[in-house]
Structure 1
Amino acid sequence: MIKLNESIHVPNALEAVFTYTSDFSNIKDWDPGVAVSQKRSKGGAQVGSTYDLTLCFGPFRPKMEYTITAYKPFSKVTLNGRGESFRAIDTISFFKTPTGTRIDYEAQIYFPGVSKHMEKILTPVLKNTGRKAIQGLEAKLSGENRMYKQSSCFFSGSNGFDYIADHMILPGMLMFSKLGYSLSKRFWAEKNETLFGKKVVITGGTSGIGKAAAIKLAGKKACLTIIARNKKKAEQVQQQIIEKTGNPHVDFLIADLSRMEDIKQVAKKLKDRKKTIDVLINNAGALFNERNETIEGFEQTFATDLLGVFYLTELLKDSFPSTGGRIINVSSGGMYTQGIDVDDLQNEVVPYAGSKAYARAKRGIVILTRLWAQQMRYSKVAVHSMHPGWVDTPGIETALPGFHSRINSVLRTPDQGADTIVWLAASNEAGESTGKFWLDRRPHETVLFPKTGESEQARQRLWTKLNLLTRRFEKA
C-alpha cells in the first residue's frame, strides 16, 4: 500500500467547500489527471453515489469507478476507487478555521501483485501526483489562475503522459513492467498484418526475447534466418519454431557476433543466399559483469552490443530491395541512465561496471539508429530502435540476480518483450516514420537526464571511430 497525505487552506466558507469537493463530478476541474468525471447515480452526493472517471494517459483513457462509502456533511467524505490494475481509498476531511476552511486529503493506493521494492519506487512519483491534484483544488477554490493542466489534461499529448512517464521514472513501473504492457495493450488496434514471403534476419533468436520474436515472425509467415552462436541450440530452436508455426522457411547461420571476422563471413553468406533482405533485427546482446577482451582485442560488451551491430548493419544495408525495408535495433531502458563516452568506448578509463557498460552500448545503438535513419531517409528503409521493458529472461537472472529477485513478480514475459519488435517488422504504421525509439508500439524520448544526451559532433565522432575500427577487417 502507498499512502498519500496533503493539506491545504482556502479562504472559502466550510459549507461551500464541502458541497463542491464532495461531489466528485467536479474533480475534472481540479485534478489534472482526470479528463472526464460523470455521476452515475441520481440525487445529490451521499453514501452510494457512484462516479465514472476517465483518466488522462496520453492517447490512453483508462476508466476508474469511485463510490462514496462514508458521508458526514461538512466534515468528511470517503470514496473507494477501482481501476484496471489498482484500487484506492480517498478520505477528504474539512475543518472550519477563522479565515476559511482547511482540507486534509488522504489516499491509500493498492497495486495487487506489486512487490514492496517496487512500491518504494512508485511512492515519490504518486506523492507528487497527489500534491498536484490538491494544489489544483486549492487554486480552483481560491480563484487563482494557476495552470496545472496541459492541453486541458496534465497527461495529454506528446508532452503529456509519455513526458511524465519518461521523466518521473514511472515507466519503470507502469511502462517497463508487465502492468505497463497490459495497460498499453488495451489501446492497440489489432490488424493481424503478415510478413508473407518477407526475408527476415534476426540475431540472438535462440533464447529469451529473440526466440519469442522468432516464433512470432515465423507465425506471420516470414522467411526467417536466425544468426546464432551455438549450432546445436540453433538446430533445436529451428525445429521447435517449424513445429509450432507450421512454417518450414526457417533456417540459421552460425556466428559469434562479438567477432568482426565472423560477422564479415555471415554477412557474405546472407548476401549470397538471400540476395535481398526485407527486415534486419539486431537483437543479440549481453551484459558481462567482468571486463574481458575478445580475441580481436575489443572489450566484450562494446564488441557484442555496439561495434558488432554497427558492422553487421553496415555490411547489409545495401541488401534491402528498392521497395523498402526495416532495420530494428533492440536497445534497453537502461540506456536512459548513461550517455555515450566517445573517448572511452571500450570502458578502459573508469573502473568497469557491467551494467554501465551495457547501458552505454545501448545508448550507442539509439544514436546509430538516428544516424542510419538520416543516411537512408530517401531509400524507403525505416530504421527504428526499441526497448522491450523489463523482461524475465535467463540473461537478466544471471547478470543481475539481485534486480531479478526483487522485481520478478512484475517482469514481463519474453512474448510481451518481443511484441514491439514484431510490430515494427510487420506493421504499416512503423514504415511511415524512421529514426524513432519505441516501447509498446509508441515512440518515446531518448534523453531524460542531464548529461546523457550527446552533441551532433559526438554522434559523428562515434560513427568515425566505429568505422575506423571495422575498416581493417575489410582489408583482410
Structure 2
Amino acid sequence: MLLQERVTVPRSVADCFRYLVDFSTCEQWDPGVERARKVTPGAPGVGTRFNLTLACAGRSVPMTYELSEIVTDCRLVLSGRGEGFCVTDTIELAAHGGETVIDYRSAIRFLGPGRHIARWLRPWFNRMGRRAVAGLGTALSPGPEPSDHPVGALAHRTLLPAMVQFTRRGYRAMPDKGLSDFMDGRMVVVTGATGGLGLAAAQALARLGASVTITGRDAERLAAARRAIADFAGIEPETIRTYQADMLSLTQVRDLAGRLRRDLPSIDVLVNNAGALFAERVLTEDDIERSMAINLVSPFVLTEALAPVLGQAGARVVNVASGGMYTQALALEDMNFEQGEFDGAKAYARAKRGLVALTEHWAQSAEFAGVDVHVMHPGWAATPGVAKSLPAFNRRLQGRLRDARMGADTMVWLASSPLVAGRSGEFWFDRQPRPRTILPGTAVTQPQRDQLLAWLQRAAA
C-alpha cells in the first residue's frame, strides 16, 4: 500500500529538514502518534532509532523507526516496524519560491493475517496520512494570533469543565502542538530543571537550539539532567551550564543571581519553574513558610536581581503557576499560614495565586520595560513531585494525567514563539490566554497587588 501526500510551507528547506530529521517531533504533528521518543543518544544520523506509540482503533500500538538514509536538506528515509506491518517512509524537500515543498510517501506492507484486510484499511490509512501531513504543514507555518475561543473561555470560567481540560485530553485537543521556532543564539535559564516539567522544558528548548542553563539543588541530579538534555537534543553536554542552588534559601538564591549575572552578560529567557508542595508547615532559615518561599519569594528575588541582564528588548520571563490557584485568593493577612490548620495544597495554591499577581505587577513595571513577562499553568501532569506530594490524587488520575512533556509544552512555546511578543502579563494554558480567576472573591485588585509587593520586599530584605 502506497500513501502519498504533499504540503507547501513558508519555511526554508534547512529549517524544515532540521525539524524533521529528529523524527520524534512527529508526536507534535501526526494525530495518529500518541508519543514518540528518540532512543539513540546524540544528534540524529543514519541508524538513529525512534520508539513510537500509535493511537489505533482505541488501542496503543508500539512501533519502531530507524533513519536509513539522510541527504541533508533534501531527503530522509525511515524504516519502521509495528505489530503486523512494516513501513518505509520517504520525505523529500525542495525549495520553491521562498517556500518548501514537502513530499511524504509511505509504503506499508502488512504481515501475517493483516494481509487479508489490507484493502479494507486503505481508506483509514489514507485519511490518517492526509491528517498527518496537514499537521506537519501547521507545525511548520506561522500560527494564528492566540485568542481565547468563546467555547474555551466559557469552559475556563466554570471550574469543573476547565479541570477536564487539565488532563492529557485537553493537550490532545490542541489544534497545533508544533514547536519549530528555533532559538539559536538565545540564552535560556530554567530553574528546577533536574526532573519533571523543568527537565522536559530544558530538553525541548535545547533541541530548538537555545543555549540552556539549568539550576537545581543536587549536584548529582544536575549532572544526570545535563546528560539527559544532551542526549535528547543531540548536543554536547559541556554546552549546558549547571548551577547548584537551593531555592528555599534566599541567601543561595541571591548567590545564584550573582553567579548568573557574572557569567551571562544577557539572558533572553528566564523560566521560573522551581517549586514544591509540602505536607507540613515548616519555616525556612528566612522565617518564611516553605511553600511561599520556593513558589513565590524565590522567583521574586531571582527575577528582580536579574533585571539588569533581562533588560534588552525581546527578553522574556515565563512563570510557572498551577491550575490549583483558581481555588484560592491571596491571604495577605496570613502569608505564612499561621492561622488555622496547615493545608499544603492550599498553601501551594495561595503562593501560585501570588505569582500570577506578581506577573501582572512586573508587566506594568518600568523596571521590566521591554521584557515580556508571562505566566502559565501546565495542567495536571504526572511528575515525581506530584507523585510524592499528592499520592492519592496521582493514583486516582493515573492514565489521565499529562506527562512532563505535555505539561511543559506551553512553557517552551512562550519561550520560543514570536506570536506572544508584546503580550506581557497574560495568563496562559495550552497556548491560549485564560482568565486569572473563576471563583468569586479570588480576583486580586491593584491595592492588593501593592500590598503583596510590599510583603515580598519585606520578606526578601
Report the aligned-residue RMSD: 2.1
Contact 1:278–1:321, Cα closer than 8 Å, also in 2: no
Instruction: Map residues 24-423 of structure 1 onto 2, 5 A cutoff.
Output: 158=148, 160-184=150-174, 187-188=175-176, 190=178, 192-248=180-236, 249-376=239-366, 379-423=369-413
Aligned counterparts of 2:368 and 2:222: Cα–Cα separation in 1: 36
Contact 2:190–2:213, Cα closer than 8 Å, also in 1: yes
Shift of 1:240: 2.0
Stretches of structure 1 lacking an aligned partner (at least 5 in a row): 1-83, 87-156, 472-476
Contact 2:216–2:245, Cα closer than 8 Å, also in 1: yes
Shift of 1:432: 3.1
Q: Could you say if the C-alpha distance between residues 468 and 239 of structure 1 is closer, same or farther in structure 2, counting changes exceeding 3 Å?
A: same
Q: Could you say if the C-alpha distance between residues 160 and 259 of structure 1 is closer, same or farther in structure 2, counting changes exceeding 3 Å?
A: same
Shift of 1:448: 0.6
Aligned counterparts of 1:244 and 1:378: Cα–Cα separation in 2: 33
Contact 2:359–2:373, Cα closer than 8 Å, also in 1: yes
Number of residues of Structure 1 aligned to a counterpart in Structure 2? 317
Q: Secondary structure of 1:281's partner?
A: strand
Contact 1:177–1:411, Cα closer than 8 Å, also in 2: yes
Q: Could you say if the C-alpha distance between residues 322 and 343 of structure 1 is closer, same or farther in structure 2, counting changes exceeding 3 Å?
A: same
Q: Could you say if the C-alpha distance between residues 321 and 440 of structure 1 is closer, same or farther in structure 2, counting changes exceeding 3 Å?
A: same
TM-score (norm 1): 0.64
Contact 1:200–1:223, Cα closer than 8 Å, also in 2: yes
Contact 1:289–1:399, Cα closer than 8 Å, also in 2: yes
Q: Secondary structure of 1:329's partner?
A: strand
Contact 1:305–1:362, Cα closer than 8 Å, also in 2: yes
Q: What's the CA shift string for 1:238-270, capped at 9, x where partnerless? A: 122112212232111011101110011010000
Q: Secondary structure of 1:318's partner?
A: helix
Aligned counterparts of 2:435 and 2:196: Cα–Cα separation in 1: 26
Of 333-342 and 239-248, deviating more is 239-248
Contact 1:85–1:179, Cα closer than 8 Å, also in 2: no
Contact 1:171–1:180, Cα closer than 8 Å, also in 2: no
Q: Choose which of 422, 425, 446 in structure 1 pairs with 2:415.
A: 425
Of 218-227 and 326-335, deviating more is 218-227
TM-score (norm 2): 0.66
Q: Could you say if the C-alpha distance between residues 297 and 85 of structure 1 is closer, same or farther in structure 2, counting changes exceeding 3 Å?
A: farther
Q: Could you say if the C-alpha distance between residues 197 and 389 of structure 1 is closer, same or farther in structure 2, counting changes exceeding 3 Å?
A: same
For 2:442, the aligned partner's letter is T
Contact 1:329–1:384, Cα closer than 8 Å, also in 2: yes
Identity over aligned pairs, percent: 37
Shift of 1:160: 2.2
Q: Could you say if the C-alpha distance between residues 175 and 229 of structure 1 is closer, same or farther in structure 2, counting changes exceeding 3 Å?
A: same
Runs of 4+ in 1 over 4 A off after TM superposition: 170-173
Contact 1:326–1:381, Cα closer than 8 Å, also in 2: yes
Q: Secondary structure of 1:343's partner?
A: coil
Stretches of structure 2 lacking an aligned partner (at least 5 in a row): 1-55, 59-146
- The residue that corresponds to 1:436 in the other structure is 426
Aligned counterparts of 1:311 and 1:208: Cα–Cα separation in 2: 23
Q: What's the CA shift string for 1:452-476, capped at 9, x where partnerless? A: 11221111000011012212xxxxx
Contact 1:324–1:379, Cα closer than 8 Å, also in 2: no
